[in-house]
Chains A and B, each alone.
Chain A
Amino acid sequence: MLLNKPRAYAVMDKYGLDGLLAATQINIYYMTDFWGALMRMRRSFFNYAVLPRDENAPAALVMTATEAQRLTEMPTWVPNVVTYTHPVHAHSRDYDTATEEPDAGPGYRWPVRNADQLPPKERQWEAMRADLAEKNRATPTYALRQALRDAGLEKGTIGTDDPRPVEWMNQLGLDKLKGVEATNIFREIRMVKSPDELTIMREAARINEDGVNAAIKVLHVGTTFPEIERAFNVEVAQQGGRAVYITTGSGGLPHDKVTAGEPVMLDALCEYRHYHGDIGRTAVVGEPSAEIVLRNKAMSVGWQTAYETIKPGVTGRQMTEKVLAAIEREGFPGFLVATPHSVGLEHTDHPIPIGLELPGSRGDLVFEENMVINVDLPYHELGFGGMHLEDVIRVTKDGCEPLTSMKTDLIVIPA
């Protein structure tokens, strides 16, 4: 189970919530372990997840009946799977939607040949279809209403990452249901990882580091950015991940290609089972100048300082101040960015100010055990080049544990 259930309950209690409703894909996945084909297609409002605060009430997953067999590939712990059929001829004009529910119809039923000789998987799919068909609803919205009713949340106050479904529930007769903006509440839950998440994130970190190392291997004088990107993307794909991006700085390579003696920053992000790995390195083709060597050493000391500083209770601000001071002390006075961020289903997997909130208004980021943290140390200097260091760590009870290699030495490639 990806969900850190005890933390979810504690955070719901903190905000006085009776439950959570997830409409965005990463939160649906987080709450149910399920990632459906429609989610991959970027289709919004066709899947939902419901987590009631009442531990005896059933959590729910809303999904299309057409995809039911996918549950054998991506099983969910959620006890209440509510499917819908989308009858194509049902028309709103034929119903008073506040009081009537359209007939779901039978849904698609694929033909079966030699039913008594089906392989186990097909028997399972057919049984699953028949089981779920008993409570098919017409649309995702009606299925969500059923899930909320089953969870006893018809009149509850629920946190949601999109307010629209709550408005639709109000229109469909659940007029006492109240929604609370929960984009950052979900992040607050997610920022402390469960054991299953940590298992995935170790693999994501490993694959991502292999990807960036593959990109480094293609560096030579004249390498272009697309060549770097391809090497990273292919390696990550080869290992079952999905490349998200690799950058050599926001604008690409200053000379449009790698040049001898100019440091190149690499910042790479991949997904493995929808969780991110994130890493940064500095490479130089040819003999590095003494200045580059000194700067990289200073950044390495900065990273080591971060590693030694981070533990439960320490704030991001405290870490940043120590890291910047260490880098300056080591002879790199112009270094200015040391940003810790939680990583997970989002690149920045902790609450971030949104809407009318000002930067910093949520207070300091405070490290907790089982947070997975990246410390971002990027540096660009026009006319000099780019540098970067970034590794992934897990916060332990009294310190931290690396998930990447922490090989922070300058990477020097013969010209």
Chain B
Amino acid sequence: MLLNRPRAVEVMERHDLVGLIAREHVNIYYLTDYWDTQADGRWPYLVYGVLPRDQDMPAGLVLPTVKLERLSVWPTWVPNIIAFSDYSGRERRDEGHIDPDQGEPPAIAWPGWPVREGATLTPLEQEWAARAGAHADRLAATPAWGLKRALVDAGMTRGRIGSDDPRVIGWLQDMGLPGIEAVDATNIFREIRMVKSATEIEILGQAARVNEAAGMAAAHAAVAGATWPEIETVYHVEMSQRGGRNGHIISGLGGLPHGKVVPGEPFLIDALGEYRNYFGDFGRTVIVGEPSAELSRRADAMWAGFERACEIIRPGLKRSTLIAEVIAAVQKAGFSDFFYVSPHSLGLEHTDHPIPMGPTLHGDWNDYALAADMVINVDMPFFEWGWGTMHLEDTVVVTADGFRPLTSTSPALIVNPS
């Protein structure tokens, strides 16, 4: 189970919520372990996850009936699976909107795909047929009606409900649940997710390894004259070969200053790739040819900064303290221009902790304290126009009394022959 359920309950209590509705794909996945192709195709409002605070009540997953088979590939721990008619409706015309006084309209029948008469079904096919049969006579009419059922089953018919898309709560109020109140839970989900479950830490470890290996392959492909698209392709292919999904690798935000790799000019790589929808994030400095004394000194200083981070990372450490200590260590080691460190929690989002949104300002609540089982990246970029760029970024998991690295913590400087 990806979900850190004790933490979810604790956070819901803190925010006085009776439960959560996930509409964003990462949160549906987090609550249910189920990842839908709808998520990958960017369809919103077809799949939902529901988590009641009361652990005796059933969590719910709403999905299209034709995706029931997919639960064999992405099994869920969630007990209450509600399927709605699909393929039934895209071209069906029913004028008007739902009249809540009339209750749920009838769903279009979907008995499941045909079964060949007399065939011996494989165990998987038997499972698929059983799933289709079990849901055939209780399909919901639409995703929204399925969601309403999930809430009723979970006892979430009144009270404050957190959702990452509060407009969904408005629909449910109009569908006959006037006693529920919407709470924007974009950051509440992040608050839960920032402390990882054991399953998540396992996946994040794999994500870190896959992403680092792909990032290193890209770094080693950076020979003199190489263009960024060439380097990028190496990263993407390597990610794919290792079972990840090609993500995003950058060398600064505007690309290489000369449009290609130039011997003697350092440049950064910052690789962000996905494995089972969790991010790996890794950064290093690359130089083609012999590094200058200045570059070596700066790289050593940045490493000293990371070592300082490793010395002090433990539960209770404030983000602001971590930043100040790392910058001081880098500067003390001889890199006086270094000034920027951005530690961030890593997970289903690149920045997997609450982030200011709306009218709130950064200073309001960005200085969180580390907790055991947080997965943290220490992000240390440096740019100097006319000289080059540098980066050092590794991933660690915070333990009860320190940390454990998820990346290999390999040397800060990658030197490629010219």
Contact = CB atoms under 8 A, between A and B. Distances in A.
Contact of A245 (B40, B240, B252, B356): B40
Contacts of B14: none
Given A44-B357, A245-B37, 17 more contacts: A37-B248, A72-B254, A88-B363, A89-B363, A95-B361, A122-B385, A243-B245, A251-B69, A253-B124, A269-B37, A269-B40, A355-B168, A355-B171, A359-B142, A360-B94, A381-B116, A384-B119
Nearest to A381: B114
A226 B243 contact: yes
Listed from nearest, the 9 A-B pairs whose CB atoms lie closest are A359-B89, A383-B119, A347-B41, A251-B69, A69-B254, A41-B350, A383-B116, A113-B386, A237-B236
A102 B363 CA distance: 11
B254 A358 contact: no
Dominant SS among interface residues on chain B: loop
Contacts of B91: 316-317, 320, 339, 360, 364-365
Contact of B258 (A121, A245, A317): A121
B337 A250 contact: no
Contacts of B68: 250
Interface string B56-68: 0000000000111
Interface in A118-141: 118-119, 121-122, 125-126, 138-139, 141
A89 B248 CA distance: 30
A90 interface: yes
B148 to A, nearest CB: 10
Given A118-B386, A358-B96, A361-B95, A244 B248 contact: no
A87 interface: yes
Contacts of A95: 361
Contacts of A234: 237, 240-241
**Centre residue among B95, B125, B240, B243 by max chain A CB count within 10 A:** B240
A183 B229 CA distance: 34
Given A40-B248, A126-B385, A358-B142, A345 B125 contact: no
Interface of B: 26, 37, 40-45, 66-73, 85, 87-98, 105, 108, 113-116, 119-122, 124-125, 127-129, 141-142, 144, 165-168, 171, 174-175, 184, 186, 229, 233, 236-237, 239-241, 243, 245-248, 250, 252-255, 257-259, 272, 337, 340, 348-351, 355-364, 366, 382-387
A111 interface: yes
B89 A237 contact: no
B342 to A, nearest CB: 10
A353 interface: yes
A352 to B, nearest CB: 7
Given A269-B40, A361-B94, A380-B113, A45 B358 contact: yes
A101 to B, nearest CB: 11
Given A356-B97, A381-B116, A110 B384 contact: yes
A153 B121 CA distance: 62
B66 A383 contact: no
A14 interface: no
A85 to B, nearest CB: 9
Interface centre among B91, B142, B252, B357 (most CB of A within 10 A): B91
Nearest to B72: A251
Interface of A: 26, 37, 40-45, 66-73, 86-93, 95, 97, 102, 108, 110-115, 117-119, 121-122, 125-126, 138-139, 141, 162-165, 167-168, 171-172, 181, 183, 226, 230, 233-234, 236-238, 240, 242-245, 247, 249-256, 269, 276, 316-317, 320, 334, 337, 339, 341, 345-348, 352-361, 363-365, 379-384
B61 to A, nearest CB: 15
B166 A164 contact: yes
Contacts of B233: 237-238, 240
A92 B361 contact: yes
A88 B297 CA distance: 29
A341 B66 CA distance: 17
B115 A119 contact: no
A112 B384 contact: yes
A168 to B, nearest CB: 4
Contacts of A72: 254-255
A354 B23 CA distance: 12
Contacts of A93: 364
